[in-house]
Amino acid sequence: MNSNKALYKHIDPTGTIISILLIFLWFISLYFLLDWNISYTMPLVYIAILWQTHLYTGLFITAHDAMHGSVSKNKTINAFIGWITSLLFAFNFYDRLLKKHHEHHRFVATEEDPDYHESGNLSLWYWEFIKKYVTVKQLILMTLSLQLLRLIFPLENLILFWILPGILSTFQLFYFGTYIPHKGGHDKHKNKHNSGSLKKNHILAFISCYFFGYHYEHHDSPGTPWWRLWQIK
């Protein structure tokens, strides 16, 4: 019996199930929103934009968890979900993100950290962040996809619920997952991870960035998936 429990724990499918559900929720939500007859006087339109932004952020967080091997113990499944969620997030390529993200963990908040900007200036840091992660290949693929999708769905809906939420989520990820935790520097003798952390509030932490505002905790336990990160705060 104990050996069976140990085996089940080793192949615990929870991370994979959560990832698949998030992808499915993003896809179904987007599909219905793209075919929605909208009116700018409807408050639900703006709520839907924020909802899609949050789901977009969830796609990237899932890709991020795959980079730490915490989506699945099966390396093939883990990498596959990482690739899928990366591509759904504006045609990012998983192998490129993987390299840069591990550089971030290795050289956090130093000159060699690709996510860090020593100026601490929000707009300048965000601009440099975007330049490092957005490629010409992505822009071409997004443009081609937009031209194809507009043959099926209204352009207005595509911009509101596909393009805009993707842009907003990049700022959400940057602000709560990079800028706030790493701005201002940290005393290396007292803070070995050069990372700050949000005050304990699990509701706000989830809404803001899937608990990644608990950033010191993430750097201290990078293999902990987003949906368990609140437990080690």
Digit-coded pLDDT (tens) for 62-97: 999 999 999 999 999 999 999 999 999 999 999 999
Spatial separation of the C-alpha atoms in residues 61 and 229, rounded to whole Å: 12
132 within domain boundaries? yes
pLDDT of 4 strictly over 50? no
pLDDT of 107 strictly over 60? yes
Spatial separation of the C-alpha atoms in residues 23 and 17, rounded to whole Å: 10
Spell out the residues 6+ positions from residue 232 whose beta carbon is closer than 8 angstroms to its own.
214, 217, 220, 221, 224
pLDDT (0 to 100) of residue 1? 41
| Secondary-structure breakdown of the chain: helix, strand, coil percentages, each rounded to the nearest 5 | 65, 0, 35
202 within domain boundaries? yes
Spatial separation of the C-alpha atoms in residues 188 and 201, rounded to whole Å: 26
pLDDT (0 to 100) of residue 187? 57
10 within domain boundaries? no
Spell out the residues 6+ positions from residue 79 whose beta carbon is closer than 8 angstroms to its own.
66, 94
Spatial separation of the C-alpha atoms in residues 6 and 13, rounded to whole Å: 13
pLDDT in tens, 150-178: 999 999 999 999 999 999 999 999 999 99
pLDDT of 110 strictly over 90? no
pLDDT of 184 strictly over 50? yes
CB-CB contact of 201 with 216 (8 Å): no
Spatial separation of the C-alpha atoms in residues 68 and 98, rounded to whole Å: 9
pLDDT (0 to 100) of residue 3? 42
**Percentage of the chain exceeding pLDDT 90:** 84
Q: CA torsion angle for 127, 133, 134, 138 (degrees, to 10)?
A: -170
8 within domain boundaries? no
Q: Residue 22 CB: number of other CB atoms within 10 A? A: 20
pLDDT (0 to 100) of residue 203? 96
55 within domain boundaries? yes
pLDDT (0 to 100) of residue 83? 98
122 within domain boundaries? yes
Q: Is 229 helix (H, G, I), strand (E, B) or coil?
A: helix
Print burial letters for 126-147: b (CB count within 10 Å at least 16), e (below 16).
Answer: bebbeeebeeeebeeebeeeee
pLDDT (0 to 100) of residue 109? 86
pLDDT (0 to 100) of residue 188? 59
Mean pLDDT (the chain, rounded): 91
Residue written as token pair 């490129």: 96
* Residue 172 tokens, joined: 């959400």
Vertex 155, ends 150 and 159: CA angle to 5°? Answer: 120
7 within domain boundaries? no
pLDDT (0 to 100) of residue 190? 62
5 within domain boundaries? no
- Give the domain extent around 128: 15-232
The pTM score is 0.89
pLDDT of 214 strictly over 50? yes
Spatial separation of the C-alpha atoms in residues 213 and 199, rounded to whole Å: 9
CB-CB contact of 55 with 23 (8 Å): no
pLDDT of 9 strictly over 60? no
Closest by alpha carbon to 56, among 34, 87, 97, 79?
Answer: 87
pLDDT of 8 strictly over 60? no
Count: domains in the chain:
1
**Percentage of the chain exceeding pLDDT 70:** 93
pLDDT in tens, 131-153: 999 999 999 999 999 999 999 99
6 band by pLDDT with thresholds 50, 70 and 90: very low
183 band by pLDDT with thresholds 50, 70 and 90: confident
